[in-house]
Structure formats: C-alpha cells, structure tokens
C-alpha cells in the first residue's frame, strides 16, 4: 500500500512521570499482508495506566516495551485488506495492536467485534477490558453481599465506575473515592453511589463518616495513602481485590506506608492481587453479564474521547492528572 505509516515508539524509559520526550513519532512504510494476515487501519486506541509499567525494564505479568518498539494497547481497527477467509474488508476488529495508523497482523491475533453494540468504543471500555476487570475483581475476589459496604478508589475512572455500579446491582452500599468535586457529583447523581469522597480534600475522617458500619470490600485501584486510610476501618472477613496502584506508578523510590499484616490478621481479611488475564477462560461469562446489565439500563458508562493520532500521548499522560472521566480512548480515524 502506497501510504506512509505513522508510529509512536518508546524512545527512552520514563523516569518518574512520563513526558512527551519519552516517545518518538516515526514514519515507516506500510507492509502488504501475506496469507493469513490482515492490513488494518487504526480507528480507536485505548490508553491505560498499566502501560506505564510496561515502559520500565522490569519483570511483570507482561513483557516490557523495548526501546524503539511501537507502543501497543487495546485497539479497534477496520480491515483494509484481508488475506484471511475469516475477515472481509470493512470488518471491525479488536486486538492488542500498535499505536500506528496501519498494522499488518495475523488474523488470529484479532477478533471481529459486534458492530451492533453502540458505541463501538464500549468494546474497549465497559464491555471490554476495563469492564471485565471490574466484574471479575469485584465478584470473584470482593464477593459483595446485600447490605455490605463496598469502597472503591479511582471510582470515577473506567474500572472504578463499573465496580461501583456492579456492587449496587448486588445490593451493597457503595462509597467512591475520586479526585474532584465534579467526579464525586457524577458518582452520586448519575451512577447511584451512596457517598463519594474527594480525596484531594480529606480521606480519613470522610471515610469514617461514610462507613459507620465499617468496610466489607475495598476495591483498590490506586494504593498509597488513600488505601492506608481504609485499613483501620476493615470489618471481620473483609475482602480487598488489589486491581491497581496508580498513585505509585511514577514513583522513583519505593514508598513506605503502614504495614498491613496486623490489620489483615485482626480482621481475617483477604487481600488479593489479580490481573484481568487471570480470568481469560471466563471472559464470555463476564461479557454476557455486563452486556445484559447494560441493555437493562443498570450499567451506565462515560468515555473521555480525545481526537487525533497526534494526541495519543497527551491522553495517556492525562490519566496521571485525572483528566479523564470514565474510560479514556483516542479516536484516530472515522469508521468507513
Ligand atoms: N489488574 C488489572 O487487570 C487491571 C486492569 C485495568 C486497570 N487496572 C488498574 O486499575 C486502575 C484504574 O485503571 P483505569 O483503566 O480504570 O484508569 P482510570 O481510573 O480510568 O484512569 C486513571 C485515574 O486514576 C486516578 N489517579 C491518577 N493519579 C492518581 C493518584 N496519584 N492517586 C489517586 N488516583 C489517581 C485519576 O482519577 P482521579 O481524578 O480520581 O485522581 C485518573 O482519572 C489503575 O491502577 C490500573 O492500572 C488493573
């Protein structure tokens, strides 16, 4: 194909909060697909906090990006040319694809998405990776019961906003923690959270007041001092799904905090880390439940859509400034 590709590569490993200079915008030729391959055009790109971890040269559940490698994440793309009998030109596909305008991919590395679900971006958000993370982390580890108190941090983001709503569906009392008054209003007025706490103002006293009967489930998206405030309020047999620790992703030194062992022993609480990939053999179950609740009007979503390939890095950096409400997604091109 006689088009120049544009790519975003990792130029150097960020130290602390990533900056624009850690990334390189590079032009490259677009290859032609061979048998069993597809040429796809990037339409929507998911930007996610976990990508920060992949920029470090450190062992994790997913290999780090190499310097000069095209950054990749969840992408919705449209088939431009197909050398696979499973896909036709125009199909919309979802896969872990590069931050580039065009990709040649093995057909089995992507899956066709249900274009009847609108907006299609839901496949990257509530009916995709972040929705599944909320579903399995909350229900498999958190196991909220009717009348229990569930606290969720990062509550107005993609995972957190879904967690709170699923907890409400299960009859829990839900307390969200988020970074602005507007986000807190959104949680209580739009999503049905019982209480929302702006952590930039006060956490400890506000949590005590919001949870007079203690905390049964703490869905942790952020770690750090916000989570420290939760431990003294845990109830007997509390459950703590540890989903993320965004407050520490840009730290250059290991952060010391209160040690959690005593609180866990005193309460017989369960604290368990997980990644959504742990549940890959149950994605069908999760998607069916999430889609049903969405169609029944029990789950609402918000997406922050940034326009333009050139703004992918801005959208990524904005995650660490709390600029997004709900899932952050970049629209790179129109669906044709
Ligand atoms: N385990 C898994 O498989 C899995 C999968 C997906 C995501 N995650 C994790 O889940 C968490 C949420 O991910 P997401 O995709 O839903 O992102 P998100 O919540 O939509 O976006 C990130 C949000 O984090 C908050 N934040 C940023 N810096 C913070 C800080 N220093 N302290 C407290 N909050 C801060 C901001 O909201 P405020 O305005 O409220 O600060 C920001 O909007 C992340 O930690 C992510 O790594 C884990």
Q: Taking the CA of residue 41 as centre, how many other CA atoms within 13 Å lie in the half-sphere pointing to its CB?
A: 16
The H or E element containing residue 227 is: helix 224-228
What is the reported pLDDT for 247? 98
Q: What is the pLDDT at residue 1? A: 65
Best of 322, 323, 325, 330 for a ligand 1 pocket test (most atoms within 8 Å of beta carbon):
322
Residue 156 C-alpha to ligand 1 middle, in angstroms? Answer: 9
Instruction: For tokens 């590069």, name the residue.
Output: 98
Cβ pair 123, 264 in contact under 8 A:
no
Residue nearest to ligand 1 atom 20, measured at CA: 157
Domains of the chain: 4-125+302-331 (3.90.180.10), 129-279+288-293 (3.40.50.720)
Q: Whose CA is nearest to atom 45 of ligand 1?
A: 244
Tell me, yes or no, if the pTM score tops 0.85: yes
How far does residue 319's CA lie from ligand 1's centre (Å)? Answer: 7
pLDDT per 10-residue tile (average), the chain, 336 residues: 90 98 97 97 98 94 95 98 97 98 98 92 98 98 98 98 98 98 98 98 97 98 97 98 98 93 97 98 98 97 98 98 98 96
**Residue 59 burial (10 A CB sphere; 0-12, 13-18, 19+):** exposed
């Amino acid at each position: 194909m006689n088009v120049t590709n544009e790519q975003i590569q990792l130029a150097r490993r960020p130290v602390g909060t990533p900056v624009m200079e850690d990334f390189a915008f590079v032009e490259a030729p677009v290859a032609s697909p061979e048998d069993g391959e597809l040429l796809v055009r990037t339409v929507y790109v998911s930007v996610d906090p976990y990508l920060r971890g992949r920029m470090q040269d450190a062992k994790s559940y997913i290999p780090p990006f190499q310097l000069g490698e095209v950054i990749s994440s969840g992408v919705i793309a449209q088939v431009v040319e197909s050398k696979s009998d499973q896909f036709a030109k125009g199909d919309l596909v979802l896969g872990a694809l590069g931050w580039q305008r065009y990709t040649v991919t093995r057909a089995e590395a992507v899956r066709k998405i249900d274009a009847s679900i609108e907006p299609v971006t839901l496949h990257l958000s509530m009916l995709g990776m972040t929705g599944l993370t909320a579903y399995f982390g909350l229900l498999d580890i958190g196991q909220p019961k009717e009348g229990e108190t569930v606290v969720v941090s990062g509550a107005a983001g993609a995972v957190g906003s879904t967690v709170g709503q699923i907890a409400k569906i299960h009859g829990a009392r839900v307390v969200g923690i988020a970074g602005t008054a507007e986000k807190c209003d959104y949680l209580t007025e739009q999503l049905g959270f019982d209480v929302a706490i702006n952590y930039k103002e006060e956490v400890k006293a506000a949590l005590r007041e919001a949870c007079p009967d203690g905390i049964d489930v703490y869905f942790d998206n952020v770690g750090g001092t916000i989570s420290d405030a939760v431990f003294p309020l845990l109830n007997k047999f509390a459950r703590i799904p540890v989903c993320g620790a965004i407050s520490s992703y840009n730290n250059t030194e290991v952060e010391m905090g209160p040690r959690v062992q005593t609180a866990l022993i005193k309460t017989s609480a369960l604290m368990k880390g997980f990644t959504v990939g742990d549940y890959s053999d149950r994605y069908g179950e999760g998607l069916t439940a999430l889609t049903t609740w969405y169609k029944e009007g029990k789950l609402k979503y918000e997406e922050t859509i940034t326009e333009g390939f050139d703004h992918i890095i801005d959208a990524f950096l904005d995650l660490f400034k709390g600029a997004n409400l709900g899932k952050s997604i970049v629209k790179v091109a129109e669906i044709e």
